Amino acid sequence: MKRLMVCCVLVIALCKTVAAEEGMWIPMLIEQLNIKQMQDIGLKLSAEDIYSVNRSSLKDAIVQFGGGCTAEIISPEGLILTNHHCGYGAIQRQSSLEHDYLTNGFWATSHDEELPCPGLTVTLLIRMEEVTEKALQGVTGSMNQMQRGQLVKQNIEKIEKEATAGTGYEAKVRPFYYGNQYYLFVNEVFRDVRLVGAPPSSIGKFGGDTDNWMWPRHTGDFSLFRIYTDKDNKGAAYSKDNVPYRPKYFLPVSLKGYQKKDFTFVFGYPGTTREYLTSYAIDLTTNIENPLRIDLRKKKLDIINAAMESDQLVKIQYSAKAAGIANFWKKMIGESRGIKRLNGLAKKQAFEQKFQCWTDSLSLTMQRYGGLLRSFEATYREYRATDIASIYLTEAGQGIELVRFAAGFRELVKYSKAKPIKPDLVASSIKSLQRTTREFFRNYSAAVDKQLMSAMLGAMLTGMDPKSTPDIFAFIAKKYAGNADTYAAYVFGHTLLADSSTVLVFLADYKPSMVKNLEKDPAFNLAVSIYQCNENNVLPKAMVFNAVTDSLQRTYMQGQMEMQRDKRFYPDANSTLRIAYGQVNDYCPADAVTYNFFTTLGGVIQKEDPAIYDYTVDPKLKFLYLNRDFGPYCDRDSTMHVAFTASNHTTGGNSGSPVLNAEGQLIGINFDRNWEGTMSDMMYDPSQCRNIALDIRYCLFIIDKMAGAKWLIAEMNIVR
């Protein structure tokens, strides 16, 4: 009885509401869950103003940009605003030595000069709907994970098909709370997106990787694009006859600024969070996965950065690649440090003790959840070795560009050896490879990749369990004494796949009888060995692990919600539209250290270092600063604000999201988090977690005063 009373006290202590700053909430549910709290801390809008299917609302101005970021519509002519780093790939693909838009920036002076971006899409939510009952129709407790998954998949396909019949829209059903709930999202996809403007890298990437994830921040991280549609205002493929999109709603842009403790909210598409994991998952991520990935990515970055510093063409080719590698590399460092600083593993273990205590207190909960945590422990312990092998194979082996490219020839080999050979399949494969080849070699340096191969294979040879290595490693050990440098030199010296002209000539003349040329190719053999090792030895085990942990986590999520009935649970991010809200605020990352909640253009000048590429300052920007020529964009304190921090809960995918004030007006563009708060994907700390936003006034200042693109300012609804 005494133990039961202690358990009850512990459970009551856990049943509290989520802090105002924490959470990524479903827009259609804010009327039920959040609107009163939001209004209590400053919001001046109704739930219907934010999300509505009956009239235009804020949600009609928020789009998913390219599948991995967010953007917002800011004019009646489909002008959209996102981060420079979100548009970076599109800007890079438009760049060349003759037109280096990455370094120098790009500004269209009319619609006619806006640049089409093939392959770039934006997605607008039309409506969302809970469909849990339909998705789980026919599911029983006696089903195994595979049976359940197949039935749910069939149900989802039916829901999606019915939701879009005759509409031209696209639909997707996503699981929430680890498959305890399901929601339908009906979207319109726009496939004609054009580059309108981007600042030079000295503004858009000021501070580079050094400042990435850091505060104070002085990066003008924005770019402008435009949505084009057919004449009926519907999404369509690119056509010169397309016209600018006419949105249902576009965001007003505020020059009023912000003060400490002002209410803000972020509306966007956060990617992935994992707030309800066990200690076993936290331990695997922070103590095994992150350190290994950090080490491998550091090796890659050292090679790529050195090459970019010495060759301008390589800089253009590899800037986006390096940024992608570095972004997650630095995030993982901060994440692991943040978890350790929070003593996060111990906190998860303490919660699990309370969960077990609650489970043991009743026969019904014991029956449902009694052995759950023990199953988690055994599953994660058994998977650890496979997880390490998977990281080496994907981060290192498949991290070699030539390996990834060569792996694409496996289909052609398969069709060439088929009996009987089907010429149409061979021809289709050749055509696809020709397209891939032209795209691949636009941004490829064999000299850089040769160094990457040496480094990555060297890491695999020394770090992997010999039982888990690809078969070709035995050949490398026997013929090259396990020397990765010597073997890489052999591969690049004898492959036909490292030169675009050679590959294109080979494909142009290709006949199935030439398949032996590929089968003897050292790059192709290396790629096949690495991919087969992953596909045959690692992925099957990973699939079993994921199926087991999905089932366990779904049950654990159900148990947490049952135990903490008074807690408002927000679902983990899964690249669907969400709202996060909080306040403009500073923070104290360490003893005797306090960071202000905004930065100014003066800080850009203070950081200037002409000897370091990432800290060069455009002469015109410096001139404007010295002459205090800020136009109407300076703050009431007479300084030009650059960025600010707030306590909105964000993650990857929120890049480019609008930061809105209490009246729903655009005051900033979310572009990062502070390093001390990157663990917020797994554990949120309200004292340390801050989103970093570009002040919209600095964005307008650059468009107007630096670019002279007043025609774009004139499109917007500026609130003074």
| DSSP reduced 3-state for 282 | helix
Its sign, for the CA torsion 530, 533, 535, 538, is negative
E strands, 200-254, where?
223-229, 243-244, 253-254
Q: Angle, nearest 10°, between helix axes 472-480 and 484-494?
A: 100
* Dihedral sign (CA 545, 548, 549, 550): positive
> Phi and psi of 664, rounded to 5°?
80, 20
- Tokens 């936003």, residue? 693
Rounded Cα distance between 91 and 551, Å, is 42
Which residues are part of the catalytic machinery? 85, 221, 655
Alpha carbon distance 93, 89 (integer Å): 6
| Cβ-count burial 119-129 (b if 16+ within 10 Å, e if not) | ebbbbbbbbbb
CA distance 131 to 156: 9
For 330, how many CA atoms within 13 A lie in the half-sphere containing its CB?
A: 19
- Spatial separation of the C-alpha atoms in residues 563 and 473, rounded to whole Å: 51
Report the SS3 class of residue 61.
helix
Q: Where does residue 310 rank: exposed (0-12), middle (13-18), buried (19+ CB within 10 A)?
A: exposed
Q: What CA–CA distance (Å, rounded) separates 161 from 202?
A: 47
Query: How far is Cα 35 from Cα 21, in angstroms, rounded to an integer?
Result: 14
Contact by Cβ (8 Å): 669, 658: yes
Rounded CA-CA distance 719/657 in Å is 19
573 close to 673: Cβ distance less than 8 angstroms: no
